[in-house]
Amino acid sequence: MNPKKILVVDDEVDLVETVRFPLEMEGYHVLVSYNGEDALNQARKENPDLILLDLMLPKLDGYKVCRLLKFDERYKHIPILMLTAKTQEKDKVLGLETGADEYITKPFEMDYLMEKVKAYLSK
Amino acid sequence: MENRILVVDDEKEVRGFLSKALSRMAGFHVELAESGKEALQKIEKEPFDLILTDLKMPEMDGLQLITEIGKSKPETLTMMMTGHGTIDSALEAMKRGASDYLMKPLNLDELILRIQRVLKEKQRFVRLRDFADQLERANQELRRIDGMKSEFVSVASHELRTPLAAIKNAVQLVLKGTAGKINENQEKFLSMAERNINRLTNILNDLLNLSKIESGRIELNFENIKLKGIIELMASSLRPHADANSVQIDVDVGEQLPAVYGDPEKINQILTNLIGNAIKFTPERGKILITTKLLSKDQKGGYGDRVAISVKDTGIGIPPEHLDAIFEKFHQVEGSLHRSVSGTGLGLAITKGLVEAHQGKIWVESELGKGSTFTFTLPLSENERRDPHFRFILDKEFHRAQENESPLTLFLIQVLEERGDVKEGLLDRLEMKVKQCLCRKADILLRREKEKILAALCEANLAGAQVIRKRIEMEIQKYPIEGQGTSSVIKVGTATYPEEALSKAELFRLAKERLGG
Looking at residue B164, its pLDDT comes to: 92
Chain A residues within 8 A (CB-CB) of chain B? 12, 14-15, 18-19, 21-22, 25, 83, 85-87, 89-90, 105-111
State mean pLDDT over B359-364: 90
- Inter-chain residue contact B165 with A111, CB threshold 8 Å: no
Edge-first strand listing for the sheet containing B408-417: B444-448, B453-458, B408-417, B488-497
- The shortest CB-CB distance from B168 to any of A12, A87, A107 is to A107
Is the pLDDT at A77 greater than 90, yes or no? yes
The answer to whether B60 and B37 are in contact (CB under 8 A) is yes
pLDDT band with cut points at 50, 70 and 90 for residue B442:
low
First to last CA, chain B: 46
Render pLDDT for B127-184 as a digit per residue (tens, 0 to 9): 999 999 999 899 889 888 877 887 788 788 888 888 999 999 999 999 988 888 999 9
Of the candidates A27, A25, B467, A28, the residue with the CA atom closest to the CA atom of residue A8: A28
The answer to whether B450 and B444 are in contact (CB under 8 A) is no
Which of B155, B158, B203, B265 is best to mutate for the A interface (most A CBs within 10 A)?
A: B158
CA A86 to chain B, closest CA, distance in angstroms equals 6
Round to whole Å and give the CA distance between B12 and A116. 101
Looking at residue B390, its pLDDT comes to: 67
Q: Which of A45-49, B1-5, B180-184, B314-318 has the lowest mean pLDDT?
A: B1-5
Render pLDDT for B205-250 as a digit per residue (tens, 0 to 9): 888 888 888 777 777 777 888 888 889 989 988 998 888 888 999 9
Bond from prior residue into B498 cis (ω within 30 degrees of 0): yes
State mean pLDDT over B118-123: 90
DSSP B259: P
Q: What are the E-state strand segments in A2-101?
A: 5-9, 29-33, 50-53, 80-84
Edge-first strand listing for the sheet containing B371-379: B248-252, B287-295, B306-313, B371-379, B362-367
In this prediction the pTM is 0.55
Render pLDDT for B387-438 as a digit per residue (tens, 0 to 9): 555 666 777 778 888 888 888 888 888 887 655 555 666 777 777 777 777 7
Q: What are the E-state strand segments in chain A?
A: 5-9, 29-33, 50-53, 80-84, 102-105
The answer to whether B460 and B407 are in contact (CB under 8 A) is yes
DSSP B322: G
Looking at residue A118, its pLDDT comes to: 95
Looking at residue B193, its pLDDT comes to: 92
Q: What value does the CA radius of gyration of chain A take, rounded to a whole number of Å?
A: 13
Of the candidates B450, B455, B453, the residue with the CA atom closest to the CA atom of residue B296: B450
Render pLDDT for B277-305 as a digit per residue (tens, 0 to 9): 899 889 888 999 999 988 765 555 444 56
- The shortest CB-CB distance from A15 to any of B157, B166, B219 is to B166
Looking at residue B423, its pLDDT comes to: 60
CA A19 to chain B, closest CA, distance in angstroms equals 7
Q: Which of B248-252, B444-448, B471-475, B503-507 has the lowest mean pLDDT?
A: B444-448
Is the pLDDT at B24 greater than 50, yes or no? yes
pLDDT band with cut points at 50, 70 and 90 for residue B449:
low
Residues of chain B neighbouring A26 (CB-CB closer than 8 A): none
Which amino acid, B361?
A: K
- Inter-chain residue contact A107 with B176, CB threshold 8 Å: no
pLDDT mean across residues, chain B: 83
- Inter-chain residue contact A87 with B161, CB threshold 8 Å: yes
pLDDT mean across residues, chain A: 91
What is each CA distance from B70 to B63, B73, B97, B116, B382, in whole angstroms? 11, 6, 7, 20, 55
Q: Cβ of B158 under 8 Å from any chain A Cβ?
A: yes
How many CB atoms sit inside 10 A of residue B466's CB? 14
Pairing of strands B223-225, B4-8: unpaired
**CA of A55: which chain B residue's CA is closest?**
B162
What are the two backbone dihedrals, phi and then psi, of residue B496, each rounded to the nearest 5 degrees?
-120, 135
Bond from prior residue into B74 cis (ω within 30 degrees of 0): no
ipTM here: 0.85
- Inter-chain residue contact A18 with B179, CB threshold 8 Å: no
Round to whole Å and give the CA distance between B463 and B453. 23
> Which residues have a Cβ under 8 Å from the Cβ of B195 and sit 6 or more positions away?
B340
Q: Is pLDDT larger for residue B146 or for residue B18?
A: B18
DSSP B336: -
Looking at residue B340, its pLDDT comes to: 45
Residues of chain B neighbouring A111 (CB-CB closer than 8 A): 172, 176
Q: Is pLDDT larger for residue B32 or for residue B436?
A: B32
What are the two backbone dihedrals, phi and then psi, of residue B101, each rounded to the nearest 5 degrees?
-140, 160
Render pLDDT for B471-501 as a digit per residue (tens, 0 to 9): 888 777 776 766 666 667 788 888 888 888 8
State mean pLDDT over B323-345: 68
Looking at residue B303, its pLDDT comes to: 47
State mean pLDDT over B331-338: 60
